[in-house]
Amino acid sequence: MKFRTLIIGTVAAAMSFQALSWGQVGHRVTGAIAEQYLTPKTQLAISQLLFNEDLAEASTYADEMRSDPSEFWKKTASPWHYVNVFDGKAYADVAPPPEGNAVTALEMFTKQLKSKKSSLAEKQLAIRFIVHIIGDLHQPFHAGNGIDRGGNDVKLTFFWEDSNLHRVWDSGLIDRQQLSYTEWTQILSRKISEQQAKEWGELDPKVWIAESAKVRATLYPETDKLSWDYQYQNLPIVKQRLQMAGVRIAAYLNAIFE
């Protein structure tokens, strides 16, 4: 039987979780990869909105601001980093919660970015969230099963240090490689073929979520002591999800500005 920590709590607690996503390095990698697939028109539009801020920098803004004490960052925006999809279900089978989720936030910020009525600050926030949310939805445990808070309640050790399954996927597997985000970007970018870039240009977040939920179900370990074997089995998945997220961030922004 797969190792899982049993959780006892309210339904509300089970349906939500507090988590970062991919960590700073992972998000920057997705933003930096995306930069390489932007059309000239999109590059110009973004430069006119973000000035000297690239997508790697923009990608971490939504996590960095979670320390802001305002109600918007502490409460309102908190659910916008993930979705819950029960095992055996599709996102379309689960109604979004009243407070919203990553998909509803993506829809909202897409409209905000497109609107001629939006201020510069609103458009800047929209771009930063769009880049971040697309990255989030490619981290398998940000399409949580609605039971264990996206793997946060699955306690374990990762290379002999206390951790949890969500943290392993946010940053553990990535940081363990001791690469900067620019080194990650160089390594992953040169391995994306033209054909893959075309095939991965899917704009529907429900497709990204289905991919994440499918792979998520295979990532629960048989043991609570993870090290070399788990890394060997799953690092290729981490790499591909980062690559796909980068390509799709660009495709999504290109569609908006084109």
| pLDDT (tens place) for every residue of the chain, 258 residues total | 444 433 333 333 333 445 567 899 999 999 999 999 999 999 999 999 999 999 999 999 999 999 999 999 999 999 999 999 999 899 999 889 999 999 999 999 999 999 999 999 999 999 999 999 999 999 999 999 999 999 999 999 999 999 999 999 999 999 999 999 999 999 999 999 999 999 999 999 999 999 999 999 999 999 999 999 999 999 999 999 999 999 999 999 999 998
> Alpha-carbon distance 150 to 213, whole Å?
11
Q: Residue 20's pLDDT is what? A: 60
Residue 107, phi then psi, degrees to nearest 5:
-60, -45
> Alpha-carbon distance 228 to 97, whole Å?
38
Q: Residue 148's pLDDT is what? A: 96
DSSP secondary structure letter of residue 144 = E
Token output for 142: 């940000």
Q: Residue 243's pLDDT is what? A: 98
Q: Residue 94's pLDDT is what? A: 86
Q: Residue 22's pLDDT is what? A: 83
Q: Measured on CA atoms in the order 120, 258, 65, 78, is the torsion positive or negative? A: positive
Burial classification of residue 235, based on how many CB atoms lie within 10 Å of its CB (0-12 exposed, 13-18 middle, 19 or more buried): middle
Q: What CATH code would you report for 11-257? A: 1.10.575.10
Q: Residue 4's pLDDT is what? A: 41
Count CA atoms closer than 13 A to 197's CA, side-chain side.
Answer: 16
Whether this model's pTM surpasses 0.75: yes
Amino acid present at 193: S
Give the position of tokens 């996590």.
63
Segment 6-12 long-range contacts (CB within 8 Å, at least 24 positions apart): 7/147, 7/148, 7/149, 7/153
Q: Residue 172's pLDDT is what? A: 97
